[in-house]
A and B are shown apart, each in its own frame.
Chain A
């Protein structure tokens, strides 16, 4: 049983390396200021190839979520039911993640505040989140 691995590409390497340090980063365009995830070479707004990796404050809110009741891969067979949650970071970029204390989605609402909780699966560090009750 093997856990799925992200593609090992040069453009995404800084993203996954940062998570190993416990940091969530996104790209910001030097030309127009657009921010985005996932990693890409050029700005999707102005097409400039010049951008920086910026550290997120790790805070965001829930846009939507789903709960898997059957596993499509045996790697997740022991985890059902589990959530996959769409989070919008305060800095703008959006990503899919898991909210570790969502109780399989039952505690989630639109706009629920969440904060970063990096967790490892084998050699890969993942940008999971937890509910931010403050």
Chain B
């Protein structure tokens, strides 16, 4: 599938608070912007794929979105993999296009947990609530603690992830949180769920994002000169709940990354920039190790040494990620990857190398990977 399909356009809403607006309206705005960015008329779109909304899963959701977009798609529907669904849907769209089932797809997501209902993130975790086990953050905190203890990692090394990503977000005019973070401020903030502090946790945001997927051939016919080739994709699913896993520090992101690299025919040295899902600071560290960019237990030191900075070995989350740009999961990271590959990113990273994007959901339950190549 290497390079057969492209991301031909991207669009999003403002991120942050969108009081009184429903999520489907947000998706329509993002999709409108993506169509304008691609220079594509809605009339030729024959696929609509949408990620399920975390804050309100619902029946036949894909149809509600397609109706709001005024499209009767050949291929459509919604997918629930938590945050991994965005990259997964782009891979499914690519394969359906390659199979001749459709030609041009909108892949989209929107939600409004900030002004709407964010109860999902604080929920009791099944029968384990009797022991006081609540919230989405808790499972990640168990992984964070194991990582910190097993590898004797200083808190400042994990905090470096937040400091670096927040620096990128502070320079992004579209970011929801433009407040830079110092390491001292990180360490001084109270624990939320120890060892996790406030700034280890991503934002909760209203917003929507959308991308347009088509074949490279079609993009050529339409004269779209900034189309970004999709070089590889992969997925992997951990399935077991965190506390039932034999190893808290390895996930099926290993398989997801391997699949994507194999499809792309690339190795780690071909990757110049990364957009790694940073719902919590521990997440991109585990992903970096699972992807094989550094050895087990070394990712936090990599962050502390500036490896993720703009001039580092692997600049990461160059628009501010979930920690700073928007908590809207997944697609904004892909959009930033597309912009880096076009050369029109806000904080453009030099070179002609490729971009790797990770999306993931649950508590590292689901994982999907995209590898994007330079446009043109």
Contact = CB atoms under 8 A, between A and B. Distances in A.
B141 interface: yes
Interface stretch (A23-31, A48-56, A61-69): A61-69
Contacts of B92: none
Contacts of A81: 194
A67 B131 CA distance: 12
B244 interface: yes
Interface stretch (B34-42, B82-90, B142-150, B210-218): B142-150
A99 B235 CA distance: 37
Contacts of B133: 84, 96
**How many B residues touch the partner, as a band?**
20 to 34
A66 B142 contact: yes
A97 B127 CA distance: 11
A65 B135 CA distance: 15
B222 interface: no
Contact of A105 (B124, B129, B194): B194
**How many A residues touch the partner, as a band?**
35 or more
A5 B138 contact: no
Contacts of B145: 64-66
Contacts of A65: 142, 145
Contact of A63 (B124, B126, B248): B248
A84 to B, nearest CB: 5
Interface stretch (B23-31, B185-193, B257-265, B305-313): B185-193
Contacts of B126: 7
B244 to A, nearest CB: 6
A69 B149 CA distance: 19
Contacts of B61: none
Interface of A: 3-7, 12, 38, 63-73, 76, 79, 81-82, 84, 86, 94-98, 105, 109-110, 121, 124, 126, 128
Given A79-B132, A128-B131, 4 more contacts: A63-B146, A69-B191, A69-B194, A110-B150
Interface of B: 122, 124, 126-135, 138, 141-143, 145-146, 149-150, 190-196, 242-244, 248
Which 8 pairs, one residue from A and one from B, show the smallest C-beta to C-beta distance? A72-B134, A67-B194, A4-B129, A6-B127, A64-B146, A66-B141, A64-B142, A69-B191
